[in-house]
Structure 1
Amino acid sequence: MVSRNADNDQVVGFLCSTLTTADLVTEESMSTHEPEGKTICLHSVCVAPHARKQGIATELLKAWIQRLKQVNETNSFKKYNRIAILSRPGLVAFYENVGFRKLGVSKVVHGPEPWIDCILEL
């Protein structure tokens, strides 16, 4: 999903995700896509530097989450169970603000700083 500048149609933000059969983001799910998965791994929420601190990431996430809920409602079966993310500790409050729940320190290790598992049940 992308967010575009209304004036010039330039992309100012985007989300990147894959599906997994696991309940959380794992080392393996960071580099694979399992089409039959019911957990959406949100890998990136990116906003252009000049467009940050304007609520774009929040609105992009809210619109995306709403779209996923609509997909679940319009199918005869629940297509997606949850969205899972790995968050830096300083961004947990941002994700909680749009509905995610903090689970704790992730088993996934990338660099010296811990990652935090967060989920949003759909």
Structure 2
Amino acid sequence: MMDKIRQVRKEDLYAIIEIEAICFPAAEAADKKSIASRIDTFPESFFVAEKDGRIVGFINGAVTNDRTIRDEMFEDAGLHINDGAYQSIFGLDVIPEYQHQGIAGRLMRHLINDAMIKGRKGLILTCKEHLIGFYEQFGFSSLGLSESVHGGAVWYDMILFI
């Protein structure tokens, strides 16, 4: 079991870069510049999971008025809209040795609850086909094949209305 979920801090950058590189193929992983920009631009929607003082996972995403994620949103944190309608999820990462312990679910519920408190209309994400069922557990619905070609992968748009 993890110790806590907390808002990201600037000094978390290198731990997050390492986790991102472990959890995603190079073509899909956010680079140092992109992650640093996310931490600077929307720390209020970027949370980390800690176990024994070590970051073992995180969840993050910009806020937007769009109902689906566009590829440029991954690279341009400036597209974040503080009072936007939808909380996006760019990444939900958990280090492999801590997977299947409920950490991803706790991070997801934390961000959903945070979005509800902030009065968002819902949450949006893109995922690979094999993860659709995972996100459906939290109430997300598939909108079908995404226009995203991020990292050269096939993605599906998901939405959760709250």
Residue among 102, 105, 112 paired with 2:142: 102
Higher helix share: 2
- 1:37 correspondence with 2:84: yes
**Letter of the 1:96 counterpart:** E
Which residue in the other structure is 1:58 paired with?
105
Would you say the 8 A contact 2:60–2:92 is kept in 1? yes
Superposition CA RMSD, Å: 1.6
| CA shift digits 1:80-102 (9 cap, x unpaired) | 11111001001111111111111
Higher strand share: 1
Which residue in the other structure is 1:81 paired with?
121
User: Structure 2 length normalisation: TM-score?
Assistant: 0.64
Identity over the aligned pairs, expressed in percent?
28
Which residue in the other structure is 1:75 paired with?
none
Change (3 A) 1:111 1:60: closer
Unaligned runs of 5+ in 2: 1-46
Unaligned runs of 5+ in 1: 73-79
User: Structure 1 length normalisation: TM-score?
Assistant: 0.83
Please state how far the C-alpha of 1:28 moved relative to its aligned partner: 3.0
Distance of 1:25 and 1:121 partners within structure 2: 15
The 4+ residue runs of structure 1 with deviation greater than 4 A are: none
How many residues of Structure 1 are paired with residues of Structure 2 in the alignment?
A: 113
